[in-house]
């Protein structure tokens, strides 16, 4: 962010994320159909969806890592 304003890259990423989520909802979470409508490869869509899931829940992975470390002590 720059002086309280969102940067263009951040805005584009958020737009893409929302656009993909809405497209997935319209196609009942079917990756192949959604990818075809969006004009991208299914693997590309799957990677982006995985990235969005990781961005939405970074605390879960931290907790799992902490629990694993605690188990080995």
pLDDT in tens, 51-68: 999 988 766 545 555 555
Domain contains 52? yes
pTM assigned to the model: 0.68
Instruction: Report residue 40 as tokens.
Output: 């991208």
* Angle subtended at Cα 35 by Cα 29 and Cα 36, rounded to the nearest 5 degrees: 120
Centre a 10 Å sphere on the Cβ of residue 33 and count the other Cβ atoms it contains: 15
Higher-scoring residue by pLDDT: 69, 5: 5
Range of the domain at 39: 21-71
Contact 21, 14 (CB under 8 A): no
pLDDT at 56: 83
51 occurs within a structural domain = yes
Determine contact, residues 27/37, Cβ cutoff 8 Å.
Answer: yes
Tell me if 8 is assigned to some domain: no
Q: Is residue 7 part of a domain?
A: no
Residue 9 falls inside a structural domain: no
pLDDT in tens, 6-50: 899 999 999 999 999 999 999 999 999 999 999 999 999 999 999
Count up the domains in the chain and report the number: 1
> Is residue 10 a part of any domain in this protein?
no
């Amino acid at each position: 962010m720059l002086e309280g304003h969102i940067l263009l890259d951040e805005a584009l990423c958020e737009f893409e994320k929302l656009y993909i989520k809405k497209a997935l909802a319209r196609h009942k979470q079917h990756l192949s159909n959604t990818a075809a409508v969006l004009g991208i490869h299914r693997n590309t869509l799957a990677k982006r969806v995985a990235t969005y899931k990781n961005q939405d829940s970074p605390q879960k992975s931290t907790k799992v890592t902490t629990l694993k470390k605690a188990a080995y002590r």
